[in-house]
Structure 1
Amino acid sequence: MPARRLRSASELPRRLTALAVLLALIGGQPARAGMFDDEEARRQIKDLSIQSNERFDTLSKAQIDLVNQIQALREDNARLRGQIETLTYELDSAKKRQQDLYVDVDTRVRKLETPPAASNTGAPPTADGGATAEAAPPQAATSDPAAETREYEAALNLFRANKIKDAAGAFEGFVRAHPDSTLAPNAQYWLGNSHYSLRDCKKAIDAHRVVVAKWPQHPKAPDALINIATCQQEQGDAKGARATLDTVLAKYPDSSAAATARQRLKK
């Protein structure tokens, strides 16, 4: 009994030491775990920072590329706008030159078509030198060719000045006021051209058809048919346009309009 007590007393310090070591081990685990957690957090933060910087660089590069593309598009747009303005000016100039050419040709042809004015010799004398006893029948009131020419030239000058709407009204007023004038076919023809310049193909066709129907032997008639075919083509009536061109060849085979019709029919 005393020997057992002595052995137990001698083992007590050893047991206490083991217990202390065990407690130290148990208490040290949370410290090491906390240290490991801090290092992992710092590593993750560093990784996130690197990823964020990479994404920021990518977005910055994409934004710079987008700005460059927008600037390039602006420059292209400005260049195209300049080209359009240049082409518009050239087209307007060409249209003006074409109008001047048409008017000049019309003036030259009209001078060739205008017959010389007949001189007024009065009543034929009798054998004894006196006037005939029988009075001449009353004549209908004649028009004033000079006034008609001035009125026609005024309408033509409006067309030449590119005042197309005013020119159309002037030509229409002329043919209404002077339906039997030698200038009426020309005025009707230019009325059709005025409507075409105003992009009204329906009215242009109607006006040119009056030229063909009312003055079929006039030099403007085949040209009027060519203009009708042009309007029909622009309206999408290819069949009607070909029929009109065939009419030019059938009715006016020796005209300059017939040469134009042949070229168009080949296309």
Structure 2
Amino acid sequence: MRPVRIALFIAALGAVQAHAGVFDDEEARRQVADLRIKTEARFDQQAKGQLDLASQIQRQADEIARLRGQIETLNYELETAKKRQQDFYLDLDTRLRKFETADSANATVNPENGPNSKPATDPAKESQDYEAALNQFKAGKYKEAAAGFGAYVQKYPASSLAPNAQYWLGNAWYAQRDCKRAIEAQSVVTTKYPESPKAADAWLAIATCQQELGNPTGVKRSLETVMTKYPGTPAADTARDRLKKK
């Protein structure tokens, strides 16, 4: 009888151990499953965050590209407007120069001086020198144009084209992004040739340079000067419009 009890005890103990083993396996599987679910959830959350960040970066990149495109368009329109204005002044300058050259030629045979009197300078040579510098400017050779106009105003200070040459000298310096020299050149136009048709435009050019140099007070003063000294002119209208935008 005793051996039977021992056998039953051993069998019962084995069953308990087997049940405990099964329980341990199920608990382990459950924990593994929970860990996998939590890990996958964390990965999903991180992936979503990365996608959101990538989406934000892409939107910012698209916005930057859009703004860059707008800036490029505005710069192109500004340069085109400047080019049109420059071409207009060049054309107007050429037309006026023809009349001024004709007046200078007539002055050489003025009866008061006598038909045989010799002019102090040769109008034809003046015109050629001026034309050479102007052609350099038209060709975009601003350094050469500045040298040509600078030499012209030194050689022909009393010429009727001297104010024009001084004005284009300032523009040639501005085209080289040298606002300091541009202002100096245009200031000569406004002080030495205040009655010249170029004087009002010289003030506008000065205001433009002052704007680029970060001098809003100077800009305002220059534009107001144009309106005060040259009322009713296109330059005054331009100055008024620029003041309204400030």
Is this a same-fold pair by TM over 0.5? yes
Residue 207 of structure 1, CA deviation: 0.5
Residue 93 of structure 1, CA deviation: 3.5
Q: Distance in 2 between matches of 1:144 and 1:261?
A: 38
Corresponding residue for 2:109?
Answer: 119
**Aligned counterparts, 1:53-202, within 5 A:** 53-55=40-42, 87-114=74-101, 115=103, 116-117=105-106, 118-119=108-109, 142-202=120-180
1:30 to 6, 9, 17: 17
Structure (1/2) with the larger helix percentage: 2
Cα deviation digits, residues 5-27 of structure 1 (max 9, x gap): xxxxxxxx3x6554544444344
Q: Distance in 2 between matches of 1:233 and 1:63?
A: 45
Provide the aligned C-alpha RMSD in A: 3.7
- Please, what TM-score do these two structures have when normalized by structure 1? 0.70
**Partner SS state of residue 142, structure 1:** coil
Aligned length, in residue pairs = 241
Residue 196 of structure 1, CA deviation: 2.2
Q: Distance in 2 between matches of 1:252 and 1:90?
A: 28
Structure 2 CA distance for partners of 1:215 and 1:64, relative to 1, 3 Å: closer
Structure 2 CA distance for partners of 1:261 and 1:173, relative to 1, 3 Å: same
Moved more, 45-54 or 61-70: 61-70
2:235 to 257, 262, 267: 257
Corresponding residue for 1:44?
Answer: 31
Cα deviation digits, residues 18-73 of structure 1 (max 9, x gap): 45444443444323212211222233333444444555555566666666666666
**Maintained 8 Å contact 1:211/1:220:** yes
- The one-letter code matched in structure 2 to 1:93 is T
Residue 149 of structure 1, CA deviation: 1.1
**Partner SS state of residue 162, structure 1:** coil
- The one-letter code matched in structure 2 to 1:168 is A
Max radius of gyration: which structure? Answer: 1
Cα deviation digits, residues 64-104 of structure 1 (max 9, x gap): 66666666666666666666555554444333222211100
Q: Distance in 2 between matches of 1:76 and 1:263?
A: 31
Q: Distance in 1 between matches of 2:78 and 2:227?
A: 31
**Maintained 8 Å contact 1:193/1:204:** yes
Corresponding residue for 2:209?
Answer: 231
Q: Distance in 1 between matches of 2:149 and 2:193?
A: 16
Q: Distance in 1 between matches of 2:62 and 2:225?
A: 52
Structure 2 CA distance for partners of 1:146 and 1:238, relative to 1, 3 Å: same
Moved more, 70-79 or 35-44: 70-79
- Unaligned runs of 5+ residues in structure 2 are none
Q: Distance in 1 between matches of 2:84 and 2:202?
A: 20
Cα deviation digits, residues 156-188 of structure 1 (max 9, x gap): 122222332332222122222332322221111
Residue 198 of structure 1, CA deviation: 2.6
